[in-house]
Chain A
Amino acid sequence: MQFRLEKRAEPSRFMLYATPVGAVILTMIVGAIIFSLIGYDGIGAVREVFLTPLTNAYKWQDLGIKAAPLIIIGTGLSIAYRANVWNIGAEGQYVVGALAGTWVALATYTMSGPWILPLMILAGVVGGALYAAIPALLKTRLNVNEILTSLMLTYASIQLIYYLIRAQWKDPMGIGFPQTRRFAESAQLPTVIPHTIVHLGVPIAIVVALVAWFIMSRSVFGYRMRVVGAAPHAARYGGFSENKTIWLAMLVSGGLAGLAGVLEVAGPFQRMVPGFATGYGFTAIIVAFLGRLNPLGVIFAGIVLAITFVGGEVAQTTIKLPDAATGIFQAMVLFFLLAGDLLVRYRIRRVVTTPAGAA
Chain B
Amino acid sequence: MDASMPHRLELIGITKRFPGVLANDNVSFSVKPGEIHALLGENGAGKSTLVKMIYGIMQPDAGEIVWDGQRTVVANPKAARALGIGMVFQHFSLFEALTVLENIALGMDAKIPARELEARIRAVMTQYGLLLDPHRTVATLSVGERQRIEIVRALLLDPKLLIMDEPTSVLTPQEVEQLFDVLRKLAAGGCSILYISHKLHEIKALCDTATILRGGKLVDTCDPKAETSRSMAEKMIGAGLKDIVRAPGRTMGLPKLVVSRLSTKKSGHFDVPVDSVSFVVKAGEIFGIAGVAGNGQNALLDALSGEILGEDKDAITIDGFPLGLLDTTGRRRHGLCAVPEERNGHAAVGDFTLSDNSILTARNRLGMVVLGLINSGAAKTYTGKVITDFAVKALGPSSTAGSLSGGNLQKYIMGREILQRPTVLVVSQPTWGVDAGAAAAIHQALVDLAAEGSAIVVISQDLDELLALCDTLAVINAGQLSDAQKVGEISVEEIGLLMGGVHGTSEARDAIPA
Q: Say yes or no for B350: interface residue by CB 8 A criterion.
A: yes
Q: Which residues on the B side are within 8 Å of A138 (C-beta)?
A: none
Q: Which residues on the A side are within 8 Å of B361 (C-beta)?
A: 237-238
Q: Which of B329, B340, B372 has a CB less than 8 Å from the CB of A219?
A: B372
Query: If the complex has contacts A227-B352, A357-B83, are A237 and B76 also in contact, measured as CB distance less than 8 A?
Result: no
Q: Which residues on the B side are within 8 Å of A234 (C-beta)?
A: 345-349, 360
Q: Which of B73, B328, B363, B403 has a CB less than 8 Å from the CB of A236?
A: B328
Q: Which residues on the B side are within 8 Å of A357 (C-beta)?
A: 72-75, 79, 82-83
CA distance A354 to B338 in the complex (A): 50
Smallest CB separation, A59 vs chain B (Å): 40
Smallest CB separation, A348 vs chain B (Å): 15
Q: Say yes or no for B217: interface residue by CB 8 A criterion.
A: no
CA distance A219 to B147 in the complex (A): 45
CA distance A354 to B74 in the complex (A): 9
CA distance A89 to B332 in the complex (A): 38
Give the contacts of B28-57 with A (CB-CB under 8 A).
Answer: 56
Q: Which residues on the B side are within 8 Å of A11 (C-beta)?
A: 351
| B328 touching A356, Cβ below 8 Å | no
Q: Which residues on the B side are within 8 Å of A226 (C-beta)?
A: 352
| B346 touching A359, Cβ below 8 Å | no
- Contact-residue size bin, chain A (C-beta under 8 Å from the other chain): 20 to 34
* CB closest chain-A residue, reference B79: A356
Q: Say yes or no for A230: interface residue by CB 8 A criterion.
A: yes
Query: If the complex has contacts A223-B356, A234-B347, A354-B75, are A9 and B403 also in contact, measured as CB distance less than 8 A?
Result: yes
| B373 touching A218, Cβ below 8 Å | yes
Contact string against A for B residues 96-140, beta-carbon threshold 8 Å, 1 for contact and 0 otherwise: 000000000000000000000000000000000000000000000
Q: Say yes or no for A220: interface residue by CB 8 A criterion.
A: yes
Q: Which residues on the B side are within 8 Å of A218 (C-beta)?
A: 373-374, 376
Q: Say yes or no for A231: interface residue by CB 8 A criterion.
A: yes
CA distance A233 to B361 in the complex (A): 13
Q: Which residues on the A side are within 8 Å of B402 (C-beta)?
A: 10
| A219 touching B305, Cβ below 8 Å | no
Q: Say yes or no for B228: interface residue by CB 8 A criterion.
A: no
CA distance A231 to B369 in the complex (A): 21
| B360 touching A238, Cβ below 8 Å | yes
| B327 touching A241, Cβ below 8 Å | yes
CA distance A11 to B353 in the complex (A): 12
Smallest CB separation, B360 vs chain A (Å): 4
| A230 touching B82, Cβ below 8 Å | no
Q: Which residues on the B side are within 8 Å of A351 (C-beta)?
A: 59
| A230 touching B349, Cβ below 8 Å | yes
CA distance A219 to B369 in the complex (A): 8
| A220 touching B346, Cβ below 8 Å | no
Q: Which residues on the A side are within 8 Å of B340 (C-beta)?
A: 237
Q: Say yes or no for B242: interface residue by CB 8 A criterion.
A: no
CA distance A354 to B83 in the complex (A): 16
Q: Which residues on the A side are within 8 Å of B390 (C-beta)?
A: none
Query: If the complex has contacts A223-B356, A227-B352, are A237 and B327 also in contact, measured as CB distance less than 8 A?
Result: no
Q: Say yes or no for A353: interface residue by CB 8 A criterion.
A: yes
Q: Which residues on the B side are within 8 Å of A359 (C-beta)?
A: 67-68, 70, 72, 82-84
Q: Which residues on the B side are within 8 Å of A230 (C-beta)?
A: 349-352
Contact string against A for B residues 407-450, beta-carbon threshold 8 Å, 1 for contact and 0 otherwise: 00000000000000000000000000000000000000000000
| A237 touching B75, Cβ below 8 Å | no
Give the contacts of A232-246 with B (CB-CB under 8 A).
Answer: 233-234, 236-239, 241
Q: Say yes or no for A177: interface residue by CB 8 A criterion.
A: no
Q: Which of A10, A237, A238, A351 neighbours the largest number of chain B CB atoms within 10 Å of its CB?
A: A237
Contact string against A for B residues 345-389, beta-carbon threshold 8 Å, 1 for contact and 0 otherwise: 111111110001001110100000100111010000000000000
CA distance A356 to B80 in the complex (A): 9
CA distance A9 to B400 in the complex (A): 10
Q: Say yes or no for B319: interface residue by CB 8 A criterion.
A: no
CA distance A10 to B342 in the complex (A): 20
Q: Which of A221, A226, A236, A238 neighbours the largest number of chain B CB atoms within 10 Å of its CB?
A: A238
Q: Say yes or no for A57: interface residue by CB 8 A criterion.
A: no
CA distance A355 to B307 in the complex (A): 52
Q: Say yes or no for B265: interface residue by CB 8 A criterion.
A: no
CA distance A239 to B349 in the complex (A): 14
Q: Which residues on the B side are within 8 Å of A353 (C-beta)?
A: 75
Contact string against A for B residues 456-494, beta-carbon threshold 8 Å, 1 for contact and 0 otherwise: 000000000000000000000000000000000000000
Q: Say yes or no for A193: interface residue by CB 8 A criterion.
A: no
Smallest CB separation, A83 vs chain B (Å): 13
Smallest CB separation, B355 vs chain A (Å): 11
Return 22 A-B CB contacts under 8 Å, by A number. Answer: A9-B403, A223-B374, A230-B349, A230-B352, A233-B342, A233-B346, A234-B360, A237-B305, A238-B360, A238-B361, A239-B328, A239-B329, A239-B332, A351-B59, A354-B73, A356-B74, A356-B75, A356-B76, A356-B78, A358-B72, A359-B70, A359-B83
Closest 5 CB pairs of A and B: A239-B329, A356-B75, A356-B79, A238-B360, A239-B328
Partner-A contacts on B (CB < 8 A) = 18-19, 56, 59, 67-68, 70-76, 78-79, 82-84, 305-307, 327-329, 332, 338, 340, 342, 345-352, 356, 359-361, 363, 369, 372-374, 376, 400, 402-403
